[in-house]
Amino acid sequence: MAQLYVGTSGFAYKSWKPAFYPAKLASAKFLEHYASRLNCVEVNYTFRTLPSVSTLTKWVACTPEGFLFCPKAHMRITHILKLRAAAEFTDVFFKAVDPLRSARRMGPVLFQLPPTLKADTALLREYLAILPTDLKYAFEFRHSSWLNEEIYSVLRERNVTLCFAESEKLETPEVMTADFAYFRLRKPDYSPEDVAAIAANANELLQRGHDVYVFFKHEETPEGALNAELLLKLVRSH
């Protein structure tokens, strides 16, 4: 049965008190509380830092079975090397996040490419060929030149999903390239009607047999976390 995973990009935000986190909750307890209400989190932390084994082991220990972490690929891979000659550091990155993988708690890995990087079909195909075959991947392209059928075909060859990023700058068309969908919702505001429409779309994808991952943003306010919780409730009550 297809599964819906909903969360936010990050969880360690004191600004979510008291609407999402209880006013007196210690920050060390944030993840445990978060995982009691949502079932997935996108880990932006791994974009700039290679996490320690102890950190990831603690994360796994304080979240329930079935809760997933979706790490963002390190910036050295996507923004410094820009996928070129990146095999060695890619191996370093996957060794760093292995505690999640070993515990079977790792969702899709997000590769967010810089907006200055233009489409390169051969580069993408070569990079995808070095990725471990037992994991799922989402690619967020932020230059419009990537949004074409040739690129979609390369993604389909490896069952890699086109990340559906919704923002004010560039909206990615909802073209399925894998057996799962990955949404990054980045607009400043989502009304209850917007969330209901997202839920209807998620339900349709689930009924077609696709796992669906949805992540809201909003570090400075609790709205993203509350919208994520509403989305889960709407789909579960469908």
Total domains present in the chain: 1
Task: Return the residue matching tokens 């992540």.
Answer: 215
- The whole-chain average pLDDT of the chain stands at 95
Domain range enclosing 123: 4-236
The per-residue pLDDT for range 137-186, each reduced to its tens digit, is 999 999 999 999 999 999 999 999 999 998 767 778 999 999 999 999 98
**Which H or E run includes 201?**
helix 192-207
Q: Return d(Cα 137, Cα 109) in angstroms, integer.
A: 5
Q: Return d(Cα 27, Cα 192) in angstroms, integer.
A: 29
Q: Return d(Cα 149, Cα 184) in angstroms, integer.
A: 21
Q: Return d(Cα 220, Cα 133) in angstroms, integer.
A: 36
Task: Return the residue matching tokens 């209850």.
Answer: 192
The per-residue pLDDT for range 66-85, each reduced to its tens digit, is 999 999 999 999 999 999 99
| Percentage, residues of the chain above pLDDT 90 | 92
CATH (domain of 96): 3.20.20.410
User: Which amino acid is present at 67?
Assistant: F
CA dihedral for 67, 72, 77, 83, sign (positive or negative): positive
Which residue has better confidence, 50 or 238? 50
